[in-house]
Chains A and B, each alone.
Chain A
Amino acid sequence: MWLASLGLVIGLWAAVSFFWGVMGEQAYRNWLFVGTVVWFVLATLGNRTRT
């Protein structure tokens, strides 16, 4: 689950970068989606490993 947190960090990093103007809107949305995929893949794998 800790590794999956990387997906959350990616999402928040994208939002903060967009807010500061160092990332465009579409790039922010794409990175947020990437973070979402990373979170779900790693969190689901982590969950399965534990059970």
Chain B
Amino acid sequence: MPSQLAELAARMDRLHEFDREPVHPDKLQGAGRFAALFAGEHIAATEFVIGAFFVLHGVTARDLLLGLLVGNLLAVLSWTFICCPIAVETRLTLYWYLRRIAGPSLTFLYNVANALLYCILAGAMISVSATAIGLGLRIPTPALTDFLPNSAAWVLLTIGLGLLFTVLAVVGFTAVSRFAGVCSPWLFMIFLAGAIATLPSLGVRPDLSNLWSVLETRVWNGRAVAGQEPFGFWQIAFFAWFANLAMHIGLSDMALFRYAKRWWYGIFSATGIFPGHYMAWICSGLMVAAVDRNLDPGRMAYHAAGLAGVLAVAIAGWTTANPTLYRAGLALQSVTPDWPRWKLTLYTGIVTSILACFPVFFVRLLDYVAIYGLVLMPIGAVVLTEHWIFPRLGIPQFQAEREKLALNWKVLLVWVGSLAVSLILPLHLFFRWLPCYLFAIALYVGLNWKRRVSQ
């Protein structure tokens, strides 16, 4: 088994061979490039669902606005003071830096875990698109209590749509990616226009004199709908912070920031985060309030923006599922190295399409986002400890590389141990990652403490 794992890891190394070396100084990018890159991201199909869920969870208007402000600020600071500085100092992707720390076998396991999580995320995006297409075909969207498909028509729709997205990703991944770049500003406009247009139906006067009172009483009124747990300021703040946990604290975005000229370019994540995770979430909250708090992205968008709104939901799901399918395929390519990329994307797409049938990933999206970040977060804690804390404590870095270990069992123990602690912590799911992150750092230092003494 260990030798099979080492062989799989070696295959994965070959796949990532092209970015094995640190980024060359003449390839570094300026501030404008990062501002544009982030501005073009962070409006995904899931924004239609997340902002709406906050309304269903009965958050108040004040808690929402302040919670999103604080949480998104913390996310931007995490990119600025953790992810970007490490990327600029190493000029490596997380894949290659982790390989030096944890060994090739563990890096392989990390990639497979990442791929599975990507498949589920892509499945949720397909489900969101399906609500828009289903509106035209009169196929009912699953209820918030549905974990299994509610009808054969929903199964056929999600599988059909998933396969269509998969085929499009197989035959034209690059073209779809370019199209996604074109869609991004338009999607933001649809969110904004839709939110403005729902204000009259909520009772807001043209002079905006009663805007705040309408927001407090008819949108974010502090009353959760039946079956939804009430949320307050802290749930909102933590959700906004960890919505991209795998990217900032989990360090996936080292792949982007290794090209940054300065360590502080993480601040430019604000150009994507505040439109996508502040404005868009507020807009989708307004849209769901205008349809009697009925979480159905297709119906919400149609009510707020007509046919353009329905197109926005369908296209947002498609363009965001496309790169997610690609990344999942890339992560799994080492398992089947003889397969061409198209075949892998096809099989990944089939699995994703099947997952998309199950409404559980769509109706429990907030919990899934929390779990996604939680699962990958301990690896970020290990890398941060190794990069900044070990040199200060006199602990030698890169044990796996120095001792040619296929798998650094200490990293595996930290990963599994942190997740085990997260299971038993008597805290709300949204708050668990932070103590577990600190626990992971302490445990990794503790496990390596003896090496310091021996030096």
Contacts and interface: CB of A to CB of B under 8 A. Distances in A.
Interface of A: 5, 7-8, 11-12, 14-16, 18-21, 28-30, 32-33, 35-36, 39-40, 43-44, 47
Contacts of A32: 190, 193, 305-306, 308-309
B81 to A, nearest CB: 33
Interface in B289-318: 305-309, 311
Interface of B: 178, 181-182, 185-186, 189-190, 192-194, 196-197, 199-200, 204, 206, 305-309, 311
Contacts of B307: 29, 33
Contacts of A16: 196
Nearest to A14: B193
Contacts of B199: 19
Determine the main DSSP class of B at the interface with A: helix
**Ranked 8 nearest A-B pairs via Cβ:** A29-B306, A15-B193, A15-B196, A8-B189, A32-B308, A36-B308, A43-B182, A15-B197
A34 B206 CA distance: 24
A51 B178 CA distance: 11
B186 A8 contact: yes
Given A32-B308, A36-B308, A18 B197 contact: yes
Given A11-B308, A12-B193, 12 more contacts: A7-B186, A11-B190, A12-B196, A15-B196, A18-B197, A18-B200, A19-B199, A21-B206, A32-B309, A36-B190, A39-B186, A40-B186
Contacts of A39: 185-186, 189
A33 B196 CA distance: 16
B206 A29 contact: no
28 contacts: A8-B186, A8-B189, A11-B189, A12-B193, A15-B192, A15-B193, A15-B196, A18-B197, A19-B196, A19-B200, A20-B206, A21-B206, A28-B306, A29-B305, A29-B306, A29-B308, A30-B306, A32-B193, A32-B305, A33-B307, A33-B308, A35-B189, A36-B186, A36-B190, A36-B311, A39-B185, A40-B186, A47-B181
